[in-house]
Structure 1
Amino acid sequence: MTALKGDAVGRFLKRPDKPVALVYGPDTGLVGERARAIIDGFLGPDADPMARAVIEGDGLPGAPERLAEEAHSVPMFGGRRAIRVPAGSKNILPAVQPLLSDPPREAIVVIEGGDLKPSSPLRKAIEKSDQAVAIPCYVDDARAVETLITEEMTAAGLQVSPDARAALLRLLGGDRLASRGELRKLATYCHGGERVEIEDVGAVVGDASALELDVLIDSTALGDAGQADLVLRRCLAAGTAPGSIVSALSRHFMQLSEARLKIDRGATADAAMRELRPPVFFKRQNGFRRQLGLWSPEALGRALELIAATEASVRLEPDLADAMTSRALITLAGAARGPRQGR
């Protein structure tokens, strides 16, 4: 079976119907969250804690038969079992292959993989098997982060001001589990109130790496390649995923494109920025206004094509992600300095 996407993922998490599931991707928080959801959906809310087992993937190459033995073993008091396998860095396909040809009847095996390439033997075997599913977990885009914000704040009985929402979209998104944790911390902080304001976000969800990301994006869009390269190195050294950087870049240039079109239809820069959703964070409005003077709609269209191609390449070739991200930033900064960008 090919990789599950969209609504099919949600349906499988609630009612897993395959005995083997591979959950993989660069968003390790989302990988873990979905793996736990699959196990909970399979076992049910009142499952015996003994029905859950963990086998470390790096230990399987020395004893590949262990996984199948565990999956086919019958619990003393009957019932279903779930086995979680953090894949690690070693090849565990020899341990998984027997489960694809002789799947367990009353057990599910959930493998937590890293950022696996399409050429990965494990990923290829899972995607080809009708006894297994593969669930990719990519870094959340703006729409997914906004949905998460709405979901968590609604559950807490809180509304979110436009400025607070814009700040949250800027700060969150690299890791689903971390984002959810920050939102729940914010909800606890605002408990007893009715509305989350930007001051609440600043008090609870402050993130220096997100501020660096703002500087990186603005430097790129303003044509300062040297500054962009310097800040990119700092972001990567701090552990910011290239996919997160490119996703943030995409969101920013989409907003630039939307605002630029409004200006070309007669709106002022300030009016165009006010109409954006989410709105431009107030501390970045001056820089955003300058960027609108540098980029024409045509140039922004080309920029978005480059960013989309880079985003796809980063997912397909994670080993080259740093270099591809750097090249995209330098190209975009050069375009911003071009002599005819719609001034």
Structure 2
Amino acid sequence: MATGKSRGASRKSGTGPVPAAGAGDAAPVQLLYGEDEYLVAESSRALVNRLCPPADQAFGLEIVEGRVDNAAEAVSAIRRCMEGVRTVGFLGGRKVVWLKDANFFSTSVTSEAQDTKAAAEQLVELIRAGLPPGQVLVISAGKVDRRSAFFKACQSAGHVQEFSVPDKDYLLDQHARETATAAFRKAGLIARGDVIDEFTDRTGADSRQIIQEVEKLSTYLGDRRDVTAQDVRAVVCATREAGVFDLAEAVGNRKVEGALGTLRQLMYQGENAVGLIIGLESLFRELIVFRECMDRRWLRLRRDGARVSAEWASSKEADAVLGAMPKDPRSMHWFRAAKLAGQAENFTSGELARLQAVVLKMHETMFSSSLPMEMLMEFLVLKLLGREAIRAANAER
């Protein structure tokens, strides 16, 4: 998890439980925002408790509710916040004003209303001018328009922390593992990489769910600190919805049971079968490229404990071939590249070409067959990963 600096911005991907105290706590303006609502809420509460200990909050803390339904309520919240900042603390002591869960700093109907804009401009001027001595303004919010004068004023005058959630499936997978690993470490639990994978397969990437399930595990284990896959299966609730990327990952890892289970869950969730098969076509195109690069020694996997990375060799031939492709695989995010390289290791070039043809053939069959889409997709998974596929792969090798 990244750490921030005062008078600047710290971008967090929500990787882990609530951050510890840092130099940023000294800033008079604190903005915590992002799509990871749980980490925003927990981090804001922890920050407020550090700035104003619970024993002092009766007189030293003023909370202004920022979750509003219309422009009039937004204006009222902003004005109460400004009044709180301008009011001296009890006996001249330190005072913290917390504008909590504000939802009018993004691009919405409420935030775009003229009255809201005018009130927000006044708040910006107050922040720019500097808060009175001993006053601290904490603002927690969901989405915030990073182009706005409000964001820039907070960034310039205080400390900004973002708790974001990746928008791509493969990055979301990494995000979940990092969050879970940090939560396990904070709870004093020890788990191997495969146990973390099983854990996140059940929880998904929701920070609240991850941290709550880690707490359940810790209670279940008692004095024991080593977590096994059996412990995870016994205690952790399976709440995660499958994503299209999960099916591709199971196929790439040649896990027939996992692929079938994920496929059935996706179909139950209402995913379009044609979209799923297009995703598999894309997977095999990428695996063919990665397998070819590995065979030509332009690419190799490097393993350092649990961390796996893809290393590209410097080669004029590789530059000429890969640089001419519509999407140069060397520009791919390192985590995604390592995933694909690891999956490409599971196949020969001949296998990948044959299996790609199977996927393309099934795509054509979908438009002429009278069988249900669910059954056609299950047939496809079995043709790709079932016993016949294994026998054919062994014969090729």
Q: Same fold (TM over 0.5)?
A: yes
How high is the sequence identity, in percent, across the aligned residues? 22
Correspondence for 2:236 among 192, 195, 205: 205
Query: Over residues 160-211 of structure 1, what are the superposed CA-to-partner deviations in whole Å (9 max), with x where a residue is unaligned?
Result: 2443122124445633343222211221122232421112212332334244
Equivalents in 1 of 2:269, 2:330: separation in Å?
A: 24
Return 5+ residue gaps in structure 2 as ranges.
1-6, 13-17, 105-109, 254-258, 272-282, 309-321, 337-354, 359-395
User: Contact 2:213 / 2:236 at 8 angstroms: preserved in 1?
Assistant: yes
The answer to whether residue 51 in structure 2 is matched with residue 36 in structure 1 is no
User: Contact 1:209 / 1:235 at 8 angstroms: preserved in 2?
Assistant: no
Correspondence for 1:3 among 9, 13, 16: 9
* Matches for 1:224-243 after TM superposition, within 5 Å: 231=266, 234=269
User: Contact 1:2 / 1:134 at 8 angstroms: preserved in 2?
Assistant: yes
Query: Over residues 291-317 of structure 1, what are the superposed CA-to-partner deviations in whole Å (9 max), with x where a residue is unaligned?
Result: xxxxxxx79x85685679x9xxxxxxx
Return 5+ residue gaps in structure 1 as ranges.
237-251, 267-271, 280-297, 311-335
Q: What's 1:76 paired with?
A: 90
The aligned amino acid for 1:88 is N
The aligned amino acid for 1:24 is Y
User: Contact 1:13 / 1:34 at 8 angstroms: preserved in 2?
Assistant: no
* Matches for 1:232-311 after TM superposition, within 5 Å: 234=269, 264=295, 277=306, 302=328, 305=331
Q: Which is higher, the Rg of structure 1 or of structure 2? A: 2
SS in structure 1 of the partner of residue 212 of structure 2? helix
Q: What's 2:150 paired with?
A: 122
SS in structure 2 of the partner of residue 82 of structure 1? strand
The answer to whether residue 203 in structure 2 is matched with residue 182 in structure 1 is no
1:80, distance to aligned residue in structure 2 (A): 1.9
Query: Over residues 246-292 of structure 1, what are the superposed CA-to-partner deviations in whole Å (9 max), with x where a residue is unaligned?
Result: xxxxxx99xx89x96997599xxxxx9x998379xxxxxxxxxxxxx
Q: What's 1:132 paired with?
A: 158
User: Contact 2:216 / 2:235 at 8 angstroms: preserved in 1?
Assistant: yes
Equivalents in 1 of 2:305, 2:357: separation in Å?
A: 26
Correspondence for 1:66 among 46, 56, 80: 80
Q: What's 1:99 paired with?
A: 127
Equivalents in 1 of 2:246, 2:22: separation in Å?
A: 38
Q: What's 1:19 paired with?
A: 28
The aligned amino acid for 1:42 is L
User: Contact 1:19 / 1:108 at 8 angstroms: preserved in 2?
Assistant: yes
Residue-pair matches, total: 265
Q: What's 1:290 paired with?
A: none
Aligned CA distance change for structure 1 residues 231 and 199 (closer, same or farther; 3 Å): same
1:56, distance to aligned residue in structure 2 (A): 2.1
User: Contact 1:21 / 1:134 at 8 angstroms: preserved in 2?
Assistant: yes
Query: Over residues 102-160 of structure 1, what are the superposed CA-to-partner deviations in whole Å (9 max), with x where a residue is unaligned?
Result: 41321211111222243344323323x3x222211112766665555444434544322
The aligned amino acid for 1:136 is E
* TM-score, normalised with respect to structure 1: 0.58
* TM-score, normalised with respect to structure 2: 0.52
User: Contact 2:187 / 2:218 at 8 angstroms: preserved in 1?
Assistant: yes
37-46 or 24-33, larger mean C-alpha shift = 37-46
User: Contact 2:203 / 2:237 at 8 angstroms: preserved in 1?
Assistant: no
Alpha-carbon RMSD: 4.8
